[in-house]
Amino acid sequence: MKVVITGVVSFLVFILHSSLFAQLPATNTSADIYLQLQKLNVLGSVLYIAAHPDDENNALLPYLAKEKQYRTGYLSLTRGDGGQNLLGSEQGVELGMIRTQELLAARRIDGAEQFFSRAYEFGFSKNSAEALRTWDKEKILSDVVWVIRQFQPDVIITRFPTDARAGHGHHSASAILANEAFKAAADPAKFPEQFNYGVKPWQAKRILWNTFNFGNANTTSEDQLKIDIGGFNPLLGKSYGEIGGEARSMHKSQGEGRPRRKGQVLEYFTTTGGDTPHTSLMDHIAIDWKRLPGGEKVQQMINTVIDHFNIQQPVLSVPALVKIYEAIEALPAGNWRNKKLQEVQDIIEACAGLSVEAITQQPFAVQGGNLAISFAVNDRSDLHPILTHIVLQSSTSARQQELMAVKQHDKVFWLPAQLDTTVQYVLDNNKNVSLNYSFTLSDREPVSQPYWLQYPKTEGMFDVRDQLLIGKAENDPAFTAIFSIQIAGKQFAVKRPIQYKYTDPAKGELYQPLAILPGIELNYMSDNFISLNNSPAKAEIHIKSNIADTATYRVQQQFSANWSSDQKAFDYSVKQSRDAYVSGSFNPLSKENNVKEEIGVTARKGNLLYDSYTKTIAYDHIPTITYFPRAKANLVKLDIQIIGKRIGYIAGAGDMIPQALTQMGYEVVLLTDKDITAANLQAFDAIVTGVRAYNMYDYLTAKYEVLIHYVQNGGNLIVQYNRNNQTTSGRAKIGPYAFTINSGSRVTEENATVHFLLPDHPALNYPNKITVRDFEGWVQERSTYQAEQADSHYEALLGMNDTGEKESNGSLLIAKYGKGNFVYASLVFFRQLPAGVPGAYRLMANLIALPKNN
């Protein structure tokens, strides 16, 4: 469906593999164009496969994409949802969205493409069997096969081996799946339903393991294929090690900043399937135009353009490039034909200095609201391209049908005062042409929900029901403008996403993706509402209308018979308030304590149903993320006693525990460097440090004596897990006695049996009696970065282990020191408290209440 409208653009020059949603548009120098001309003659492809964002070999990818000029892709099975976050408090799917965009930012640097499967990173996995079981192996295998059949790589490379040397169950599972998919993709009997979507069986020539030498593991050997990827590219002004360092440093949420490496960088490869290469990755593979019938003529034409390329006047190459485009267009349909057509068009646009842009000054549009768009075109050459018309397309069939209906009623928007689509609009050299267009969105326009979050996920899988979406890194733009422009006698469809463009006083001109918001938003004001000792749980709902409306909506809460509420259902009138807060109480009816359940809320008007709210995630290194969590919360019926009231909290990485402590009834004061003085600390019943705080802040080591003196005088210092015993500049001083933090020591099974090694210890008895039931309902994992080699002054309270492993006792250590107590807790409170796990609240209360020593 289409609507022809007034239009124009300023060219974002998104050349080859650039994300449409970059915050700044890419630009192309003549050197960039020359490199792309060279790439036209390369018809070889490599797909790299691993488990997570930041698993990719960041120096190898730019070598493949920019030196060898292969079409290069990275398939990350997961989006990194189960990792930890050094930037903020986002966890789970939110962290996965951040890490998705970090991967896309890295790909914009190294020139590769990005793909994903439906696998959810459910946390650290110690063996591939658990990973494959939790993911649903057959479904993820089908995803890998689908990406292979679409991408059609000549060579597949895995980052990891299939065994324990991979170091992580997800890592080894990614290699197992890649090697099985290498064969399955070529088997017409495997996943034949995919053939209904245009793919065919595909057999890659070989699959290799990119062996490594890091940590204590050296899997390389001199009998493997060895390649030096550290070369310098004068057209880029960088080596591939330098480019790799820049790309790696985009994984900022994981603290993966890396140097720009110069000099020799050796990579090793061993064959795990197919033919073994001896001199290069592409041994015995045709990677030039000879692989396509009739392609040799095209290669000769490209060589002529390269030989005569004028770096000061790239526009001179446009007529010959148009002829190349037509020659490729005449070839039989296929993957390489389509890919090279787009590459040639991108180069033509760059050589012509064509600027095409479709932007809005609105950061978002709303269901049922208006959207104003500006179109601008500028051609910085003497080619005088001809703009014939502009088509506005939605990413949804519903929008396309709506626009078709408009067209059928003769309400088609043409260029101003020009009602004939065949009218020729000649673009003069460096003259801006800009036009405006506005329209009203349907009240059923889909919101900009990331496609993998459209339906609830399982423990290990996203639910994606559209086959054509599987593998994609992100959503298609909500709206795309298609400009029909005739260049050197050839008609081209130039596509641009509708983007929000604005000028930041400090950062200058920026671009962000346009988000479509719901007409009505609903949200609970907290993730958890707690009934303390059978008292009512106080809850508050925020209801917001994003458009002027006079309608009344019926708001309904969903909860079980274990609760009653004075606000189970009520009417919300937009006319009375576009921004309302409704308070109510949930009264517990069940006699069972220390339980939680999920509640939800919806608003309905006729057939329109709303059940979500808008949430944005903004960091400078990635585009702004907008998504729509379902309006839900936890009701927690908690039997708990607390001793002590005032807590000093030193925030760590991704920390939401202070809010939980406040809901438990404590007064929480956030402390910084200047607050840690002997006089100030006397006012607190306990000091709690957030996760990784000692790794993040050198000042905690500098304040060691102050903190230990606080303990000695009767205070309780609770240190949550750190990754190791290091600060940013040296060795951390944490406890009063020595212990080592083992980054590899963890219990990843959230339901692992917990043994009470010291059942009479106050931490397990006062003021709350802790039982094994308090370890029910934990999420993702039990404990991480556990303590080892602890001084004999420490008491180990808990024993636990993953299946098939020896029991460890480093999850909770407590040492008496003077009148107070020091606690090292690698138990993952930072996941459990935000998830509303009752036992985690009770155990934390006991640690805060540890009695003073005589």
Which residue in the block uniquely carries the two structure tokens 């708990």? 640
**In angstroms, rounded to a whole number, what is the distance separating the alpha carbons of residues 629 and 613?**
6
- SS3 track for 773-788: HHHCCCCCCCECCEEE
Residue 194 is predicted with a pLDDT of 96
Whole-prediction pTM value?
A: 0.86
**In angstroms, rounded to a whole number, what is the distance separating the alpha carbons of residues 734 and 708?**
9
Residue type, 811: S
The radius of gyration of the chain's CA atoms, rounded to the nearest angstrom, is 30
Whether 6 shows a pLDDT value over 60: the answer reads no
* Per-residue pLDDT tens over the stretch 80-108: 998 888 898 898 999 999 999 999 999 99
Residue 9 is predicted with a pLDDT of 29
* Most confident residue range from 197-211, 393-407, 543-557: 197-211
Residue type, 764: L
**In angstroms, rounded to a whole number, what is the distance separating the alpha carbons of residues 303 and 324?**
11
* Residue 815 neighbours by CB under 8 Å, 6+ apart: 735, 736, 737, 791, 793, 794, 795, 821, 822
Res. 435 pLDDT band, cuts 50 70 90: confident
Q: For residue 443, with 0-12 CB atoms within 10 Å meaning exposed, 13-18 middle and 19 or more buried, which class applies?
A: middle
Residue 18 is predicted with a pLDDT of 37
**In angstroms, rounded to a whole number, what is the distance separating the alpha carbons of residues 511 and 25?**
8
Res. 386 pLDDT band, cuts 50 70 90: very high
The arithmetic mean of pLDDT across residues 754-783, rounded, is 96
**Which domains can be identified in the chain, with CATH numbers?**
1-19+287-514 (no CATH), 45-283 (3.40.50.10320), 520-637 (2.60.40.10), 641-848 (3.40.50.880)
**In angstroms, rounded to a whole number, what is the distance separating the alpha carbons of residues 70 and 581?**
56
Count, residues in the chain = 854
Res. 25 pLDDT band, cuts 50 70 90: confident
Whether 2 shows a pLDDT value over 50: the answer reads no
Query: Quick one: tokens of 429?
Result: 């050299």
The arithmetic mean of pLDDT across residues 502-517, rounded, is 93
**In angstroms, rounded to a whole number, what is the distance separating the alpha carbons of residues 214 and 204?**
29
Whether 627 shows a pLDDT value over 80: the answer reads yes
The arithmetic mean of pLDDT across residues 612-625, rounded, is 95
**In angstroms, rounded to a whole number, what is the distance separating the alpha carbons of residues 187 and 593?**
55
Residue 417 is predicted with a pLDDT of 28
Neighbours of 397 (CB within 10 A): 9
Query: Quick one: tokens of 616?
Result: 């944005």
Res. 458 pLDDT band, cuts 50 70 90: very high
Query: Quick one: tokens of 664?
Result: 């438990």
**In angstroms, rounded to a whole number, what is the distance separating the alpha carbons of residues 774 and 778?**
9
Whether 422 shows a pLDDT value over 50: the answer reads no
Total H helices, total E strands in the chain? 18, 45
**In angstroms, rounded to a whole number, what is the distance separating the alpha carbons of residues 837 and 443?**
38
Neighbours of 409 (CB within 10 A): 8
- SS3 track for 285-308: CCCCHHHCCCHHHHHHHHHHHHHC
The arithmetic mean of pLDDT across residues 260-270, rounded, is 94
Phi (first) and psi of residue 504, to 5 degrees: -90, 135
Residue 728 is predicted with a pLDDT of 65
**In angstroms, rounded to a whole number, what is the distance separating the alpha carbons of residues 829 and 718?**
12
**In angstroms, rounded to a whole number, what is the distance separating the alpha carbons of residues 837 and 835?**
6
* Residue 661 neighbours by CB under 8 Å, 6+ apart: 647, 649, 668, 688, 833, 844
**In angstroms, rounded to a whole number, what is the distance separating the alpha carbons of residues 502 and 539?**
38
Res. 38 pLDDT band, cuts 50 70 90: very high
* Per-residue pLDDT tens over the stretch 206-248: 999 999 998 788 999 999 999 999 999 999 999 999 999 999 9
Per-residue CA distances from 504 to 616, 713, 833 (Å): 18, 51, 37
Res. 519 pLDDT band, cuts 50 70 90: very high
Residue 3 is predicted with a pLDDT of 32
Query: Quick one: tokens of 671?
Result: 């402390």
Q: Are 451 and 395 in contact (CB under 8 A)?
A: no
| Pairing outcome for strands 266-274 and 206-211 | antiparallel
367/12: higher pLDDT? 367
Per-residue burial over 555-571, b = 16 or more CB atoms within 10 Å of its CB, e = otherwise: bebebeeebebebeeee
**In angstroms, rounded to a whole number, what is the distance separating the alpha carbons of residues 842 and 769?**
8
Q: Is 255 left (phi over 0), alpha (psi -120 to 50) or beta?
A: left
Query: Quick one: tokens of 69?
Result: 């000029």
Whether 58 shows a pLDDT value over 90: the answer reads yes
Question: Which three-class secondary structure state does DSSP give residue 408?
Answer: helix
Cα torsion angle, 412, 414, 419, 424, sign: negative
Spell out where 411-507 has E strands. Answer: 425-426, 433-440, 479-487, 490-497, 499-504
| Segment (H or E) for 695 | helix 693-696
Residue 23 is predicted with a pLDDT of 63
Residue 542 is predicted with a pLDDT of 97
Residue 17 is predicted with a pLDDT of 34
* Per-residue pLDDT tens over the stretch 793-822: 999 999 999 998 999 999 999 999 999 999
| Pairing outcome for strands 563-565 and 579-588 | antiparallel
Kindly write down the DSSP assignment for every residue of 795-810, as one continuous string.
Answer: EE-EEE--TTS--B--
